[in-house]
């Protein structure tokens, strides 16, 4: 099938109409830059960091004095009457005589202000320290999320580029097999070759066409994955430059690796555990607090009249110093300290193990990178030799100096080695971007 016909089929595969490009990316760096501003994963991690910042400010606010005030208006629609011995009002009254008297005012106005200050409260300092460490963890988790996202984007991008290379090789294969099939068809009609030779060329032609269409589908899948990672709606169309640029890794092999957020997070978690041990030990300290309260009441029979006549003003103030000292809690503090110590030991071991693992992973990455570059360099040279053989055998077939079967064998060898070449290319690209990301401070 000619290339032109395959192009028409490809257009039909993508809907048979012209698509407007909403976003174009020419390199992996451009994809990373776009993700920094639009990825939902990074937006979520950034918001979590902002939440941790607010929680730290909230914890520090507990060191400041608290101040509250309130006011109340009471309207006595009916004032309760009480029976009072009449002798209190009339010395001539007989025993057993009572007078019905109402005490109180119709309107009562109450206001108070309360201030308190924690002079000594170890929990406040403990919470501040823990929130500081949690803020550090949130910052590192943002770096961790960015690193993981960069790895996903790089994987999809390089798979797209790899399929671009497959597409180019398949186009080259189609040109070769179309020429072989045309010559084989002519020779078959001339009675110079048998059905097997013709069918073999037709089979190889169909395989090349099949590979071309499969490559188009693979590229479409990788574009959709990029949309997912970049938070781009499915209806929007993106274009990615699939040209391949291969750099000698010698330029990055000697660069230092960045501090791993995994190791740093493990360290912060260890410090939180250590802080928990300190807090459980200090939980036996006393709590000292200072409290002030001022109250005032105005009563009157007239609404909102605060002076003169029957108005009465009754203020009250007090200041107290509070001391709470835990004496016996059934061994709770002792056992909690023991539990926190064990947690701290586990987190300490985990931190040390994470450091060792990261160092080994980084060293293995460099070994794999150098090895993959050596293999890929040889694959380039070998593929070039196969390509030359393919070119020369095509000329010989056109000149009639080799048979169709011999030409098909050279073509098959060329196509078969392309699989090895692409595997070596994919392995090198995977190791290359993995090292680049590990050397980046996020």
* Domain boundaries defined on the chain: 3-15+44-62+122-283+332-438, 63-120+287-324
Q: Name the helix (H) or strand (E) containing 114.
A: strand 107-120
d(CA 21, CA 217): 18
Q: What is the pLDDT at residue 428?
A: 96
CA distance 379 to 361: 26
By residue count, the chain amounts to 442
pTM over 0.75: yes
Provide, rounded to the nearest whole percent, the portion of the chain with pLDDT above 90. 67
Distance of alpha carbon 193 from alpha carbon 160, whole angstroms: 41
Does the structural domain 3-15+44-62+122-283+332-438 have CATH classification 1.10.10.60?
no
Nearest to 434 by CA among 379, 364, 374, 356: 364
* 315 strand-pairing partners: 296
Residues of the chain with pLDDT under 70: 1-22, 80, 102-104, 302-311
Residue 16: the pLDDT is 42
Q: What residues contact residue 342 under an 8 Å CB cut-off, 6+ apart?
A: none
Cβ atoms 42, 146 nearer than 8 A: yes
User: Cβ(389)–Cβ(410) under 8 Å?
Assistant: yes
**Cα–Cα distance measured from residue 245 to residue 249, given in angstroms and rounded to the nearest whole number:** 12
Say what the pLDDT of residue 442 is: 86
Please, are residues 386 and 414 in contact by the beta-carbon 8 Å criterion? yes
What is the structure's pLDDT at 229? 93
């Amino acid at each position: 099938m000619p290339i032109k016909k395959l192009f028409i089929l490809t257009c039909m595969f993508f809907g048979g109409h012209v698509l407007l490009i909403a976003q174009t990316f020419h390199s992996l760096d451009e994809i990373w830059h776009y993700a920094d501003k639009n990825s939902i994963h990074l937006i979520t991690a950034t918001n979590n960091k902002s939440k941790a910042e607010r929680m730290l400010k909230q914890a520090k606010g507990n060191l400041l004095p608290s101040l509250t005030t309130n006011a109340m208006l009471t309207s006595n629609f009916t004032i309760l009457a009480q029976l009072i011995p009449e002798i209190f009002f009339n010395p001539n009254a007989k025993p057993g005589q009572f007078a019905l008297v109402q005490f109180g005012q119709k309107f009562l106005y109450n206001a108070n202000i309360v201030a308190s200050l924690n002079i000594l409260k170890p929990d406040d300092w403990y919470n501040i320290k823990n929130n500081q460490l949690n803020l550090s963890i949130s910052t590192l988790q943002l770096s961790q999320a960015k690193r993981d996202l960069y790895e996903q984007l790089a994987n999809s991008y390089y798979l797209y580029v790899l399929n671009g290379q497959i597409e180019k090789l398949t186009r080259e294969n189609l040109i070769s097999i179309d020429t072989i099939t045309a010559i084989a068809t002519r020779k078959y009609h001339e009675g110079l070759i048998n059905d097997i030779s013709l069918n073999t060329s037709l089979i190889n032609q169909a395989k090349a066409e099949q590979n071309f269409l499969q490559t188009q589908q693979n590229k479409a899948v990788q574009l959709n994955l990029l949309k997912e990672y970049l938070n781009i709606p499915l209806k929007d169309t993106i274009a990615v430059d699939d040209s391949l640029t291969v750099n000698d890794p010698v330029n990055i092999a000697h660069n230092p690796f960045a501090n791993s957020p995994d190791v740093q997070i493990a360290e912060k978690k260890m410090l939180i555990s250590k802080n928990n041990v300190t807090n459980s030990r200090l939980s036996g300290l006393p709590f000292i607090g200072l409290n002030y309260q001022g109250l005032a009441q105005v009563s009157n029979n007239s609404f909102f009249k605060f002076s003169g006549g029957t108005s009465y003003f009754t203020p009250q103030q007090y200041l107290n110093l509070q001391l709470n000292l835990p004496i016996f809690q059934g061994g709770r503090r002792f056992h909690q300290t023991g539990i926190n110590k064990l947690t701290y030991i586990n987190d300490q071991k985990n931190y040390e193990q994470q450091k060792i693992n990261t160092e080994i992973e980084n060293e293995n990455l460099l070994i794999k990178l150098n090895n993959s570059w050596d293999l890929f360099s040889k694959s380039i040279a070998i593929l070039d030799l196969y390509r030359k053989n393919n070119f020369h055998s095509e000329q010989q077939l056109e000149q009639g100096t080799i048979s169709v079967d011999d030409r098909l064998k050279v073509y098959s060898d060329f196509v078969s080695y392309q699989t090895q070449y692409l595997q070596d290319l994919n392995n090198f690209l995977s190791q290359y971007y993995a090292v680049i990301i590990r050397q980046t401070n996020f």
